Structures are given as C-alpha cells and as structure tokens.
Structure 1
Amino acid sequence: MEREGAPPLVHLVLVLVCLAWVLPTLGLLVSSVRPAADVASSGWWTVFRNPLDLTQYTLANYRQVLYQNGMAQAFVNSFIVTVPATLIPMLIAAFAAFAFAWFTFPGRDALFLMVVGLLVVPLQMTLIPVLRIYNSLGLSGTFLGIWLAHAGYGLPFAVYLLRNFFGSLPSDLFESAYIDGASPLTAFFRLALPLSVPALASLGIFQFLWVWNDLLVSLIYLGGSPSVAPLTLRLSSLVGSLGQNWHLLTAAAFVAMVVPVAVFFALQRYFVRGILAGAVKG
C-alpha cells in the first residue's frame, strides 16, 4: 500500500518557516557587503532592484573588521577558548557517564540526581563566587580559567546525555567482554566510546556552539583584554554607545557565524541519532 504524501498545507507551512529562518541570514549577508552610506540610507532588500550592479557591493567592511578592529586575533582566541572547553567536559563526562551507567557503588543514583539537578541552577548565581576564587588563584583573564569555567557549566548536561546513551547499550556486549578478560577501561575505550560516536558528536555540537557564542562567561572571567578576548567580546565592542559603526557589526557577525555553521553541517548526520540515543531502551 502506497503511503500518502503530506498535504499541500504542510509544504506551505514548511516553506514559510524556512523563509522566516533564511531571510534574516540573507539580510545579514547582503548588509555586510554594502557600503556604510547605503546601509544607513536604505534597506538591504533594495539591492535586488538591480542585483547585477556591482558598484553597490564592497568588501571594505570585512577588511576593516578583520585587519583594523582586531577581529582576526579574536577569531583565533575563540578557537583557543572553544576547542579545549569542548573537549575537556566531553572527556570527563564520558568517564562519569560510563560509571553511572554500568558500575554499581553506594549512592550512585543519589549522586546522579545531584549532577542532573545542577542543570536547574542558574549560571548567574555562580559568577561572583567563582570570580572571587579566580581572583585569589590568579586565574582571572586567563585561558585556563575560562576552560575550567565552561567545563564546569557544561558537565551536568554532558553527563546526563552520555549516561542515557551508555545505559541503552546492550549489557551482553560488556558481559562478553568481561568474560574474555577485558578490564573496565578496555570495555570503555574499545566498546563504549566507538559505539557512542553519535552521542559524542551531538554533545560536541551543543558544547561547541554554546562556548563559541558565549558572551557572559567570557566577559566575567576574561574581562576586556584584547589579547584574550574572543569574537563575542569584540562584537559587543564594535558598536559604540551612540550606535555608530553598526554596519561593521553585520560583517563581523557573519564571520562569527561561519565556524558554527560549518561544525553543524559537518556533524549533522550524527546529530539526530545522538539526540534520540537512549530515548528507547533496547
């Protein structure tokens, strides 16, 4: 029996939703390649009156952002902040999640509930206490400090996601490995980790996007030093208090979007599988 296709109304709604998501990005891209005078005097959609007129396009905004406003250094700083701040919680959470899923020890369930309960603690409540500790230890304004902060904030969700995935793996797999003489570490590295690539990829996407787009945590723990400031801090300083130079913000924002979009599309085939992993036991 042939399955019926979706009604036309569903297709229309999907097209409208896609347009609603794509139009702001298109407007951002068009505005980023327009001269400052044109951006200030007319809307971005006016370029489509004569889209082949190359005089209405310019790369001056990108050149100024990358070479005069310190955005290139901020781009490198964002990588320095984001990559370790993504890998550290993933590594720690993988060990913890495997223990919560397959080890039996006193207080396991209570401890796991405490870790999951940290998800509801507002991040803002921790800023002042942690900043005081950082000031006393000399970690404020350092990459190590921001790595530890992001790792701590990301661990509860990471442990929760990976524990659900590890718990859905067949127990016969690990029992057979233990019978063959495998140690828990061998089972973890040879069985659990290779099978958990979709979950790890999903976690990596979430953590990477959160750290890359973060402003608050970077502002508190890194301050405004240009030598360590990531893209989000530089973006926030591009527009002055009177609103001048906001045409540069479009080019800078588009530069900041490139990496998260590339990461998402590179790992998208794992994304849905990782999100659904552990939803059904079996």
Structure 2
Amino acid sequence: MRTRALSPLSIAVHLSVLVLVVLWTVPTAGLLISSLRDKEQISASGWWTALTSASRKDIFRAPGPEAQKQEGAEWVISGNIFNGGSGHVSAFGTSSLKPEEFTPGATAELKDGQKLTVSETGDFRLTSPQSFEGSRGQRIFYTALTPPRFSFDNYRTVLTAEGIGQSFLNSLTVAVPSTIIPILVAAFAAYALAWMKFPGRSLLIAAIVGLLVVPLQMSLIPLLKMYNGVGAFFGVPSKTYLGIWLAHMGFGLPLAIYLLRNYIAGLPKEIMESARVDGATDFEIFVKIVLPLSYPALASFAIFQFLWTWNDLLVAMVFLGTGNEELVLTGRLVNLLGSRGANWEILTASAFITIIVPLLVFFTLQRYLVRGLLAGSVKGG
C-alpha cells in the first residue's frame, strides 16, 4: 500500500501550527513553574533550571556580642547562615574581594586571634580567645547551592489576600452575562441580516463592518456620558453591573454579528425553504434549525468574548468602579502587586490565577474555534 506524500503546503501548515503551539505553551509552562518557586529561586535562576540546584552568592552577618557564649577559655558565636532555610555551602570568605577564599570546613584566621569555620550545611562557628566587642557582627560571604523546591505558598498568599474571593465572583458576574447577552442579540441580528429581506439591510451590514475598526478607547468616554445621562433621567445608579454588561455588549456586537451573519448566510438554503413550506415561521426556523447548526460559530465567538471580558480592567473600572465590593479580579491583583512591587513570586501566581478560568473555557470550546472562525470569515451571502 502506497502512502500519500504530504504537499509542501501541508508541511508548511503543520510546521506553522507546531510553532504556534510551542510559542503559546512554553511561556505558560514557565509561568506555572515560576509560580511554584520562592523569591530567592526566581531571582537566582530561570524557570528552565527549576529541576537543578541553583548557585547563588550572598552575604550573612553573624550576630553581635550579645549572642556570644563562653566555652572554656574561648568565647563562641554560632548559628546557621541560611536562617532556617536549606542549601549547601560550596565556598565562603570574610572579604568582598575574596568571597570564595575558603572551602566548607576550613578555618579562616581573623584579627585578634579570632577564627571562623563554616560547614557545608551552613553552620558557622566564630571563636575568640577574648570577649567579642563592637556593635556589629562578622560578615560572612558565601556561595551556596540551593536544591530545587516547589510549594503552593505563593498561591496561598494570593488566595488569602483580603477581598480576593469577592473580586473573583465580581469577575464571573461581569464575564458570564457579558458573553451570553451579546451572543443572543447578535444571533437574532445575524439571522435577520442573512435571511430576511428588508429595506436598508446592506447599509446595516456596511455600518457593522465599519464599527469593527472603532477603537474602544475612543468611544468609551462618549458611551459613559450617554449612559450616565440616561441613567440620571430614569434614576438608575451609574455604577452597576447593568452598565458594564451593556458596555461589553456594545463593544462585542459588531464582531459577533459579522461572524454569525457570514456563517448563517452559508447554511444550506434548501433547509430554510423546506421549513417554510412546512409552515415554520422565521422564529421557529431560527430556534430549531439555525441555532443548532451555528454552534461552532457561537462557541468561537464565546471564547473571544469571555477572554476579553474576564481580563478587562479599563471598562470595569469605568462602569463598575474601584470600591472593595465592586473591584474585579484583575483590579484586585493590580492593587496587591502595587503593595508588593518587589515580590515577583506573587506576580507569577497572580497571573496564573487569572488565566485558569479562561484556559478552562478555551479547552472546553477550542474544537469549535477554528471551524467557526473559518466558516464565518469566508462564507458570505
């Protein structure tokens, strides 16, 4: 049996898909691995070295004279340079010019007969024939190998932060209706523009295509002023979920109608005509025939709309506010990072928490994504 050789175009397509998968997967894997490491490990080495011991150079200052104890004729200050942590000392020194002068277990001769010994486990022993004097302890420069370790401490810090649970629910309250409402409205509009003949249909289609290029930032302030004016007239508060649902619906409808209209227009005409012959109304055709057949297009748009609304911060701050009870998850994590600017481990854990829900949505509906987008892009009527 002869096997069919792949064409150059098929090979190029497969390679392109492979490259895109790698470009998408590698940063995500790196983010996950970094979120399971502590601050010292992230600072010392990249996530790709997470399974190997990391070498780091550091400085430790021994306790002062208040920690000394007399043992026979000697005064002793002892402890561990890792302060309860773990690691293996590969070299140490007493000067910044020679931070790796001694090997673990060796004895360094200091001034006034003082001696310093550092073991491989980090235990140090500083001895002197006379009582230690001075206000500051001895500096110990060391190079250590830190074994790989993973924990969920970063996630505990983020998830136990004040208000994080409420913000998570706020994001769900914003994202779910902001995804479902535009799909419902766009599906009705797409069917009407595809299969119902009425005056001005072509102008409406052209206007929808034109709205695709209108940037959100340019229309956000006029939309907010209009919404506040209407709300003041009817006595509706300005900072409500209704406002952000309407805003996301307005920003998402042009793309939704465009994709769904092209997809629905490409459905077999014979099915519609047979249904009309059997006495079905437009509403019955839409509900019983068009919607089930349009599931790939609906799912593909749902993915994009949910990702946009879940990760949105600008529209949420404008239409919902920044109070503790209204703040969405992205805003809460920004505030958390603002008070912990140097804690990169918190940044990685926070970023991964924000993408968990979108990842679940994407992997649930991804089989419909390409089929729905391609059909909605090339079919027209």
**Structure-2 separation of matches of 1:191 and 1:28:** 44
- Report if aligned partners of 1:71, 1:252 keep a CA contact under 8 Å in 2: no
**Structure-1 separation of matches of 2:208 and 2:195:** 17
Question: Does 1:153 find its partner at 2:245?
Answer: no
Between 1:146-155 and 1:169-178, the stretch displaced more is 169-178
Find the partner of 1:246 among 318, 322, 344: 344
Question: C-alpha offsets along residues 86-139 of structure 1, whole Å, 9 cap, x if unaligned?
Answer: 000000000000000011111110111112211111111112122223444255
Q: 1:13 to 1:180 in 2, by over 3 A?
A: closer
Structure 2 unaligned residues grouped into runs of 5+: 55-145
Name 1:4's counterpart in structure 2: 5
TM-score, normalised with respect to structure 1? 0.89
SS state at 2:322 partner:
coil
**Structure-2 separation of matches of 1:134 and 1:162:** 27
Name 2:238's counterpart in structure 1: 140
TM-fit CA distance, 1:274: 0.7
SS state at 1:49 partner:
coil
- Report if aligned partners of 2:194, 2:261 keep a CA contact under 8 Å in 1: yes
Name which structure has the greater RCO, CA cutoff 8 Å, separation 6+.
1
TM-fit CA distance, 1:242: 7.9
Q: 1:13 to 1:167 in 2, by over 3 A?
A: closer
Name 1:272's counterpart in structure 2: 370
**Structure-1 separation of matches of 2:331 and 2:380:** 43
Find the partner of 1:117 among 199, 210, 225: 210
Give the letter for the 2:266 counterpart: S
Matches within 5 A, 1:78-97: 78-97=171-190
- Report if aligned partners of 2:170, 2:327 keep a CA contact under 8 Å in 1: yes
TM-fit CA distance, 1:54: 8.2
TM-score, normalised with respect to structure 2? 0.67
Question: C-alpha offsets along residues 210-237 of structure 1, whole Å, 9 cap, x if unaligned?
Answer: 1112122112222212212222212222
TM-fit CA distance, 1:17: 5.0
Find the partner of 2:50 among 33, 44, 47: 47
- Report if aligned partners of 2:53, 2:147 keep a CA contact under 8 Å in 1: no
SS state at 2:29 partner:
helix
Find the partner of 1:27 among 30, 41, 60: 30
- Report if aligned partners of 2:263, 2:379 keep a CA contact under 8 Å in 1: no
TM-fit CA distance, 1:280: 4.2
Q: 1:191 to 1:54 in 2, by over 3 A?
A: farther
Between 1:86-95 and 1:200-209, the stretch displaced more is 200-209
TM-fit CA distance, 1:281: 6.3
Matches within 5 A, 1:152-191: 152-191=250-289
Question: Does 1:207 find its partner at 2:305?
Answer: yes
**Structure-1 separation of matches of 2:348 and 2:40:** 14
SS state at 1:58 partner:
coil
Question: C-alpha offsets along residues 164-213 of structure 1, whole Å, 9 cap, x if unaligned?
Answer: 01100112211111111111111110111111111111111111111112
SS state at 2:180 partner:
helix
- Report if aligned partners of 2:300, 2:368 keep a CA contact under 8 Å in 1: yes
**Structure-2 separation of matches of 1:280 and 1:64:** 50
Name 1:62's counterpart in structure 2: 155
SS state at 1:149 partner:
helix
- Report if aligned partners of 1:165, 1:199 keep a CA contact under 8 Å in 2: yes
Structure having the higher strand fraction is 2
SS state at 2:212 partner:
helix
- Report if aligned partners of 1:139, 1:145 keep a CA contact under 8 Å in 2: no
**Structure-2 separation of matches of 1:75 and 1:173:** 44
Name 2:128's counterpart in structure 1: none
Q: 1:187 to 1:20 in 2, by over 3 A?
A: closer
Give the letter for the 1:2 counterpart: T
TM-fit CA distance, 1:12: 7.3
Identity percentage over the alignment?
Answer: 52
CA RMSD of aligned residues (A): 2.5
Between 1:118-127 and 1:149-158, the stretch displaced more is 118-127
Structure 1 unaligned residues grouped into runs of 5+: none
**Structure-2 separation of matches of 1:54 and 1:119:** 52
TM-fit CA distance, 1:259: 1.1
Name 2:324's counterpart in structure 1: 226
